[in-house]
Structure 1
Amino acid sequence: MSSITNRSSTSLKARGEKIDDLKGNITLKKVHFYYPSRKDVPILQGMDLEIKSGDTIALVGMSGCGKSTVVQLIQRFYDPIEGEVHLDGKNLKHLDLTWLRNQIGVVGQEPVLFGTTMAENIKYGNPDASEEDVINAAKKANAHGEGLNCRGGQKQRIAIARALVKNPSILLLDEATSALDNQSEAKVQAALDSASKGCTTIIVAHRLSTIRGANKIVVISNGKVVEQGTHGELMALKSEYYSLVTTQVQSSTMAEKSNNYDNNDEVNFEDDKEDLVSVVRQDSVLSKYDEDINEGKKDSVIEIMKMNLPEWPHIVLGCAGSVLMGCAMPVFAIIFGDILGTLALSSEEQVREESNRFIMFMAIAGVIAGLAFFYTAGEKLTRRIRSQMFRAMLNQEISYFDRKSNGVGALCAKLSGDAASVQGATGQRVGTIIQSIATIVLAITLSMYYEWRLGLLALAFAPFILLASFFETRHATGANNKQNDSIQQSTKIAVEGVSNIRTVASLGCEQTFHNQYTTQLIPHYKKGLRATHWRALVFALARSLMFFAYSACMYYGGYLIKDGLPYEDVFKVSQALIMGTVSIANALAFTPNFSKGVEAARNVEGNLKYLQVYFAYPTRQGVQVLKGIDLSVLQGKTVALVGPSGCGKSTVIQLAERFYDPSAGQVDLDEDDLKTIKLDSLRSHLGIVSQEPNLFNKTIAENIAYGDNSRQVEMAEIIEAAKKANIHNFVSSLPMGYETKLGEKGTQLSGGQKQRIAIARALVRNPKVLLLDEATSALDAESEKIVQEALDNAKQGRTCITIAHRLTTIQDADVICVVNNGVVAEMGTHIELLGKNGLYYKLYTHQHK
């Protein structure tokens, strides 16, 4: 019996029990579950499941049957609606959540990496891991030697290394090898098999060949366990599991027929990537770009004000209002002096009558000043600036977003803060300047009119008051500019952590991200604290100077009164100049910073041709990905690209989309260099389904309609595209149908469901060129077969480039190109390449041994 230790803590996730001697026995008892946002769609319906310590259990079934939900319940991302989940006989609800997740290693279907070095990403699995531990974990996951900016299989292997580095007691693998090429899959599968020894392992898999050695295979259907046993036992039953296996086998009949080519040669590709040790020891290899939204020639005040021209009626009214506001303080001084002058009148009734009259004047002045304060032009400019900034961001080259400083959080901070700061160059700031000019002109005029000698004395203090305010504002400006970077970095960390909260939670890194966030804020806090102390000192000096000025004016005014000057004139002159100067100083100190504001096609046939294309990612200039690749894709033909992860297959597709331009050579579409084709026109003819589909927090219909934003997509077209992608029946079964909201990043759907919606989104565009980057990698056997047929139909009459690790899906391609070391090493049909006994032959036989 496992011993239990209680531990209390102030952290909500650090309360509850800890199992001192964790075995890893997991039990689900009568578990019912639905996602909170989709209460009408039951996922698990009374599931019973027992997993013994040290066993390897595989969960199989159709997409959406509840396999990944089981994994999420074990991590306690959710609690069952009914029933219980136990670990070593203890309800998960009673266990310390932080401790629980530290015992679990997770590799998800869509791995999330964070914006730091590869070594740091691996260390998120175990912050106490040494450099040697990180390297060993990377070697086990076949990730040793990978660089930054990884894609697909490379990212998956880093995620596997991140799970292995913590030496977990429970290993959860949700399609952990789905994105790997044949050679890497075999090595990583062997590593996972080794890592799973001695710990409880739960595998979610669509590719049934990867789980035949499991101690128990559990078949899930309609939220329940319908079959369980070993591979042999379940095949003998000839029921659910048997149907899944035979369906998958039928899709690779041609592969089985070619087994006579089998030999034991290992595929040996050259590996010229950087060694992990150098990556571990470097903080960043990100290069700087000249392209940046905030770089280049800075807009002048006049140029920014030109952007505000559409609001010229508001600007005119605002300027008039600023003049009235500027006159308010000197006028108040005159009225205030006259009120004091009435106190010298001999008749009490006359004093009351005159006082009431001047009080009425003061009230009228207050109403006018209040009305003059309304101003909207600056807000409209801010809205326009934000719109233009966002458009500029969306139109940047992909390399702009590869830059570390241009993460999601940093760009959101710029969009939120910098756009509003530009307002300081026009709206409120221009109004402040006009207001200040009106104040000082009227104040000096009135003081000279009433008593020029006293006016000169008061005026002598004005420069000192203004200088004190100037230094205060200047210091605040410098502090704001220096603090801007730390604010953007902290925002980047916050956005990254929240948007990938499932990964953060599974790694138990909540406190790590919180520490990173607060660490980025510490410089901001310290600089802000110093700025506040300095600003308080200068502000105190400005206020004290005002009283010194009053003292001098009152003292000299006494002599002038003795010489016959009316005493109310002393108040008029001193109030007009001193209070006017103070009002200018306050306006300069508390309005937005001025300097910050200033800083702040034709028809396509579909012939694609790559001519001696060289390419290296801007963030890794020293690593040449393509090394003079030549490739022709004729209109209406399907070309399949195969090869190991990182060989350049996905890069070929990105160049076709013009996410990047070649370092040398060119990519042509219908004999025209892609650089000469309008980007919107080019991409309007491309349909893409990527390895990791991104969906938006909109309805299913809206997500599919996003495939063609040039027009209003009819509902009939959306349904037709969904049918072709084999997702219509699932969508129709939902209570809200096509109006179902998907949630952030489509988290309410399984991987296969998300992939099929992405396929429908590509098909609704009716593209001339179809780009498929592992388009069926996340589908179960039955869905893959149906979707593959739909894609085969969709390819008819279209140019198609498809990337695949599973060679059975591309055997019917017109041309198969084997990419190796940045060039096309072999090309031909499936049969032709098998007959050559070359790289393709080795890949193929290695996969089907």
Structure 2
Amino acid sequence: MTMTETREDVPAADADEATPAAQKKKKTKEKAQPMVSYTELFRYIAGWDYLVLLSGFVAAFLQSLVFPIAIVVYSELVAMFIERTLGQGTSSVTIGLSLFGGGKILTNASYEENMQELRKDSVSFGILMTLNTLLMLFSGVYYVDAFNRLALKLTVRMRREFFKATLRQEIGWHDMAKDQNFAVRITDNMEKIRSGIAENLGHYVEIMCDVIISVVLSFIYGWKLALAIVFYIPLTLVVNSAVAHYQGKLTGQEQSSYVRASSVVEEVIGAIRTVVAFGGERSESLRYDSLLKPALKAGKWKGAFSGLSDTVMKAMLFITGAGSFWYGANLILYYRDPSIPIDEREYTPAVVMIVISGIIVSANQISRTSPFLETFAMARGSASAILDVIDRTSLIDPLSKAGKILNYGLKGAVEFRDVFFRYPAREDVIVLRGLNVVVEEGQTVALVGPSGCGKSTCIQLLQRFYDPVFGQVLLDGEDVRKYNIKWLRSNIAVVGQEPVLFQGSIGENIRHGKPEATQKEVEDAAKAANAHDFIIALHKGYDTDISEKGVQLSGGQRQRIAIARALIQQPKILLLDEATSALDYHSEKLVQAALDKACKGRTTLVVSHRLSAIRHAHRIVYIENGKAVEQGTHEELMKLEGFYHKMVTVHSYDDSAEELLNELEEVAEIKERKMSYEVEPYQLGTRNSIVSLEKNAEFQMKNLNGLANITMNQEIDDPRVPSANFISTFFRILGWARPEWSFLIIGAICAGLYGVTMPVFSVVLAELYGSLAKPTDEEVLEQSASMAIISLVIGIAAGVVCYIQTFFFNLAGVWLTTRMRSKTFRCIMNQEMGWFDRKENSIGALSARLSGDAASVQGAIGFPLSNIIQAFTNFICSIAIAFPYSWELALICLSTSPFMVASIVFEARFGEKSALKEKEVLEETSRIATETITQIRTVAGLRREEELIKIYDKEVERYRHQILSRLKWRGLVNSLGKSLMFFGYAVTLTYGGHMCADGKIKFETIMKISNTMLYGLFILAQSLAFTPAFNAALLSANRMYEIIDRKPQIQSPESFEIQQNGNGTAYKTNVVQQGVSYRGLNFSYPSRPHIKVLQNFNLDINQGQTVALVGASGSGKSTCVQLLMRYYDPDEGKILIDQESIHHDMDLKTLRRRLGIVSQEPSLFEKSIADNIGYGDTSRQVPMQQIIEAAKMANAHEFIMSLPAQYDTVLGSKGTQLSGGQKQRIAIARAMVRNPKILLLDEATSALDFQSERVVQQALDSACSGRTCIVIAHRLSTIQNANVICVIQAGKIVEQGSHSQLLAKNGIYSKLYRCQTKAS
């Protein structure tokens, strides 16, 4: 989509509406996020913080005195101008001017005497206003700094408490927390809370104190006049309160929408390989856009309400000012009667000006509170979900100190007694139905049964991830609920099917099992896990950095490190959940040997469908439908000829086969030990399906010697150095907002017109002042009435243009934000896999960037921009009015402007640099939080909660210091800009008074120049409050443009012409035969260019052939599939389909449309089962009948129909509510729906039990018929019917041929096959 796209394109229709399950769902109204009380935002205030808060309030109160003092002193001086010019005597009693020798009352004085006193009045005014300036400067600096520092401190504490509270929650809560997008909560929402209690609170307190003091002052000076116009204040309060109320609701809706949209971002980036493999970019984009709709709608209404508030306030400002001054003029004339003594004259020019100015300034100040009230509402709404988590009492708290701890140690006897259980997220499905299993101390008990029968659930119940609904899980005769959770889990070690490793060194990952372990203990554990040899072969040994989940290691290496991590705990109970299911024979041999050692002397629960892992168990328990239906040794169960016997006879391996296999693969082990390289750290986030690192011992030695000659044909861009050309960025943003140009043009014109209204009103106001100096009452009334009418017209015009500019700028801003979010998300999905491999592009970092930066961009053409336009238009108009009257006095007014401009430039430059660093640190905290929560099961099992809290606290402290470095000048810059206006009045009116006394200028002209120029400067100073938001918007836009502008390293050839079907999917027009050829491939992963994975790899696959790739872990099998999918491109060589290069002659979407893939670790989405299966063909709406047929082919239909919601069952995040085998079968069904021309099976049946594997394998064999298929498997029985079998070692094909041909060669494959015998 181009940047000139229409508004109708974003957001698009809800993609889910095209899915079968979604058609049955009713649309529900987006609910607003509830708000907490404002005082709750200060929950974490303590100790000296109260003093800081109190002193901040005091400083804000002192600053609130500035305006009332200025009103009194200014009104007194204007009264002196009027009365001394008239020469009829002084009727105004002064309080302020008399302090420094001014305001002397004269009767029957000469003109010269009046002018002489006017000079003294001017000097006294100058002194008072200078003191007032200093009061404003120092009090403003203090309270802005105090509130900013306090807000930072409190939100840092809240961040820590939120992260800690999230880790406290039980696993069931995490399963249910669909809308708890932690990247948004811990970044965007926290920043909104900080904004709500930072300097904005100080500004609000200052304004409200100012209002109260000014109103009281007005009633003290002239209650009659004040009573006549005070209605303006309650009107302002009512309008602002109503607007704040509705905006608060709309803000809650907006936040809820963004949280749901961010959840999609995390899910998609986490499963990016699945998304691109099935061409799901467009459907995911539509799904994301549909979730932005409620936020867009709420944003529009917020602008409408805000515009209405501004309209009423601004219009009433002018109208009330004009009417009240006309009434005041009548009061002055009434009390000007010479028969009334001076001391009895209730209304003088000074009194009238003080009363009117006090009421109008108060109302105007109240009208300024709308943005603050909106900020407070956003903070309260954002805090609601965060404090809900903090306040929630976890049902199973891993940080709780409660519970029994056995000082004499644990024996390890386990019993499941009549256990009933259902997952909190699937309460309609009973998983365990009265399970009874006893495991004696030191026994190894194997749990077997079909997928989804409850095997893994038993392991999770023993770890107390969940509690039974009924029944008990006993440990040494005590219910596990009575033990301290941390202590309980410290006695249990788990090795799962998909081991999770964390970012850091190998040594650190092993120490996660025992943080205080010595280096010797780490090495001993690695040796026990058969991992020591390959670790020390690495360039940095145990200090070698690996990325999260260990994606730079092969499956076998990851598993062995996980075993070492488990063994270092010296646990009493060892839980093995499909620990070897995904391994090839070589890796399984090493891992199984380690497990056999680990089981000795420990109570061990084994979940596996491999006979070699369970046949020697002391007891085997067969679970069916949540019940233990058979128990006994292998021999006893075989004699029963029941469920277990049936399972074994379906698919089994003889023990002698395992032994011979171990001998045959010693060569691969020797090669592995020769490897010596350094793995470079990078971060992939929490993606499930990245392929294992392919290693090659022979190639490593060659490539390390020739490393200096390697040329990397890839883009190396530093994402931390964005373009800082803010001017070009701003104009580019305007280009992106082209669909809203009409709104922006109208809004800019109205903002400019509104900026003109104040200088014009200042001239009218000066004329009103001048009317009081007219010699006759008739002239006074006539001129004041005419000026009042003009002011009324200005007020109506100001109200209209104010509403238009507020509404249109807001409308353009929310559309721009929505468009930027949508476009950036699409560009993220279009990047190549190597880009996602980088540390800075983790899930947490990208999600935080998309949510935080997109929200900031609105400031570039939203409310801040409109205020800046107003300020500069006002200032220019003021200059145009002032200079023709008196260039000399106008220059005096401008004397303070260089300081104001300097402060603006300084804050912009300084803020730009510090804000960039601030965002980097904030992304890092988001990454840590997101990855921790994503891997919460592993974190809980390893008891890493307290350790990760410390790590997170350290990053948050870095963030705090970075913010403080930016805030240290904020108070000075903000207060300097505002206080300079008062100093400008001091200088201008002091100098102007002398000019007037000398007869060089009339006092009305002084009023016109000073009011227009100084008010213009004041408005310009007020715009300082918006320059940080404007700068932040441009900086955020730069960061988003980095993603948008980045050209993916893997994309369709530019010269390739494609046709678009109705859904926008690209297809090539000619029919192809689907033959595949690998020609001379050399390949290294982008993050490790010095490690060759494939070298001179050649393979030809004819149309309709099934080719199997076998070999040791890390030999390059999965890399071949990834290169065909174009996840990566080879360094040299090419891949052809029907003699056409997939890199130069074929559209990327067309290529992937022909391919269907089933990966070893399938990624499922938080959608219905039907939607997940239908995801296999995102180019169309897959009929329900085809979905059911695909499920039947994958042997998934029966278990799906057993669920209460059947195909409409919504899976949890990443499909966590299903067993591994169930997830795999849905993934197979997804591939079947695609009906691909080329089918890629990467260990497609590794996670299935024997019965399922046999049925599914038959379905896959049938699916391969007539298709070109590439199969990766380590079970040779599943591939012996392949047309061609390729044995890969060290990135090369060492044997190739059919099953019979390879047997005849009597080579590697022949030996492997002969050692596999079926048990009858």
Matches within 5 A, 1:182-201: 182-201=585-604
How far is the alpha carbon of 1:657 from its aligned partner? 0.5
Match of 2:990 in 1: 555
Quickly say closer, same or farther: Cα 1:717–1:90, change in 2 above 3 A: same
Cα separation, 2, equivalents of 1:613 and 1:42: 51
How far is the alpha carbon of 1:236 from its aligned partner? 1.8
Match of 2:623 in 1: 220
Cα separation, 2, equivalents of 1:395 and 1:794: 30
How far is the alpha carbon of 1:425 from its aligned partner? 5.0
Matches within 5 A, 1:699-714: 699-714=1168-1183
Matches within 5 A, 1:471-620: 471-563=906-998, 565-590=1001-1026, 591-593=1029-1031, 595-596=1034-1035, 599-600=1038-1039, 601=1068, 602-620=1070-1088
Cα separation, 2, equivalents of 1:341 and 1:67: 92
Residue 1022 of structure 2 is aligned to residue 634 of structure 1: no
Quickly say closer, same or farther: Cα 1:424–1:138, change in 2 above 3 A: farther
Match of 1:742 in 2: 1211
Match of 2:1149 in 1: 680
3-state SS, counterpart of residue 791 of structure 1: helix
2:746 is matched by which residue type in structure 1? L
Matches within 5 A, 1:376-387: 376-387=811-822
Matches within 5 A, 1:150-229: 150-229=553-632
Match of 2:667 in 1: 268
Quickly say closer, same or farther: Cα 1:336–1:471, change in 2 above 3 A: farther
3-state SS, counterpart of residue 833 of structure 1: helix
Matches within 5 A, 1:51-90: 51-90=439-478
Q: Is the CA contact (8 Å cut-off) linking 1:115 and 1:404 kept in structure 2?
A: no
Cα separation, 1, equivalents of 2:938 and 2:763: 68
Match of 1:4 in 2: none
Cα separation, 1, equivalents of 2:1251 and 2:1087: 40
3-state SS, counterpart of residue 622 of structure 1: coil
3-state SS, counterpart of residue 1073 of structure 2: coil
Cα separation, 1, equivalents of 2:973 and 2:433: 69
Deviations 1:699-738 (CA, angstroms, capped at 9, x unpaired): 0111111111111111111111111001011111211111
Q: Is the CA contact (8 Å cut-off) linking 1:293 and 1:393 kept in structure 2?
A: no
Cα separation, 1, equivalents of 2:890 and 2:523: 78
> Normalized against structure 2, the TM-score is what?
0.60
Deviations 1:168-217 (CA, angstroms, capped at 9, x unpaired): 22211110011111122122111111112222211111112321111111
How far is the alpha carbon of 1:410 from its aligned partner? 1.3
Deviations 1:360-416 (CA, angstroms, capped at 9, x unpaired): 467533564344222122322222222221111111111111112111111112222
Cα separation, 1, equivalents of 2:676 and 2:1078: 35
Quickly say closer, same or farther: Cα 1:629–1:134, change in 2 above 3 A: farther
Cα separation, 1, equivalents of 2:1164 and 2:1210: 11
Quickly say closer, same or farther: Cα 1:427–1:248, change in 2 above 3 A: same
Cα separation, 1, equivalents of 2:730 and 2:1178: 37
Q: Is the CA contact (8 Å cut-off) linking 2:429 and 2:1203 kept in structure 1?
A: yes
Match of 1:649 in 2: 1117
1:43 is matched by which residue type in structure 2? V
Count of residues in correspondence between the two structures: 836
Match of 2:276 in 1: none
How far is the alpha carbon of 1:295 from its aligned partner? 8.0
Cα separation, 2, equivalents of 1:340 and 1:791: 93
Residue 713 of structure 2 is aligned to residue 290 of structure 1: no
Cα separation, 1, equivalents of 2:482 and 2:784: 78
- More off after superposition, 493-502 vs 428-437: 428-437
1:36 is matched by which residue type in structure 2? P
Deviations 1:336-381 (CA, angstroms, capped at 9, x unpaired): 5455556657769949968975774675335643442221223222
Quickly say closer, same or farther: Cα 1:316–1:263, change in 2 above 3 A: closer
Residue number among 391, 397, 400 corresponding to 1:13 in the alignment: 400
3-state SS, counterpart of residue 695 of structure 1: coil
Cα separation, 2, equivalents of 1:841 and 1:801: 20
How far is the alpha carbon of 1:11 from its aligned partner? 7.7
> Normalized against structure 1, the TM-score is what?
0.92
Matches within 5 A, 1:418-457: 418-423=853-858, 425-426=860-861, 431=866, 434-457=869-892
Match of 1:327 in 2: 756
Match of 1:6 in 2: none
Match of 2:739 in 1: 310
1:64 is matched by which residue type in structure 2? G
Quickly say closer, same or farther: Cα 1:515–1:276, change in 2 above 3 A: farther
Deviations 1:742-795 (CA, angstroms, capped at 9, x unpaired): 110001111000000000000101000000000000111101000000001000
3-state SS, counterpart of residue 519 of structure 1: helix
Cα separation, 1, equivalents of 2:674 and 2:570: 23
Match of 2:806 in 1: 373
3-state SS, counterpart of residue 1096 of structure 2: strand
2:1035 is matched by which residue type in structure 1? K
Q: Is the CA contact (8 Å cut-off) linking 1:118 and 1:279 kept in structure 2?
A: no
Cα separation, 1, equivalents of 2:765 and 2:511: 70
Residue number among 833, 837, 844 corresponding to 1:398 in the alignment: 833
- More off after superposition, 603-612 vs 743-752: 603-612
3-state SS, counterpart of residue 434 of structure 1: helix
3-state SS, counterpart of residue 784 of structure 1: helix
Quickly say closer, same or farther: Cα 1:737–1:558, change in 2 above 3 A: same
Structure with the greater alpha carbon radius of gyration: 2
Q: Is the CA contact (8 Å cut-off) linking 2:768 and 2:784 kept in structure 1?
A: no
3-state SS, counterpart of residue 606 of structure 1: coil
Residue number among 455, 465, 482 corresponding to 2:900 in the alignment: 465
Name the structure with the higher helix share: 2
3-state SS, counterpart of residue 269 of structure 1: helix
- More off after superposition, 36-45 vs 295-304: 295-304
1:290 is matched by which residue type in structure 2? I
Cα separation, 1, equivalents of 2:586 and 2:659: 20
Q: Is the CA contact (8 Å cut-off) linking 1:267 and 1:846 kept in structure 2?
A: no
Quickly say closer, same or farther: Cα 1:841–1:740, change in 2 above 3 A: same
How far is the alpha carbon of 1:819 from its aligned partner? 0.6
Cα separation, 2, equivalents of 1:597 and 1:229: 64
Deviations 1:81-110 (CA, angstroms, capped at 9, x unpaired): 111212223322222222222222111122
Deviations 1:212-233 (CA, angstroms, capped at 9, x unpaired): 1111111111111111111112
Cα separation, 2, equivalents of 1:630 and 1:22: 57
- More off after superposition, 137-146 vs 171-180: 137-146
Cα separation, 2, equivalents of 1:116 and 1:579: 58
Q: Is the CA contact (8 Å cut-off) linking 1:122 and 1:161 kept in structure 2?
A: yes
Cα separation, 2, equivalents of 1:635 and 1:805: 24
How far is the alpha carbon of 1:259 from its aligned partner? 11
Match of 1:828 in 2: 1297
- More off after superposition, 225-234 vs 596-605: 596-605
Quickly say closer, same or farther: Cα 1:11–1:257, change in 2 above 3 A: closer
Unaligned runs of 5+ in 2: 1-395, 539-545, 547-551, 685-711, 1040-1067
Match of 1:815 in 2: 1284
3-state SS, counterpart of residue 1179 of structure 2: coil
Cα separation, 2, equivalents of 1:767 and 1:270: 37
Cα separation, 2, equivalents of 1:39 and 1:678: 46
Quickly say closer, same or farther: Cα 1:296–1:768, change in 2 above 3 A: farther
Match of 2:281 in 1: none
Q: Is the CA contact (8 Å cut-off) linking 1:469 and 1:589 kept in structure 2?
A: no
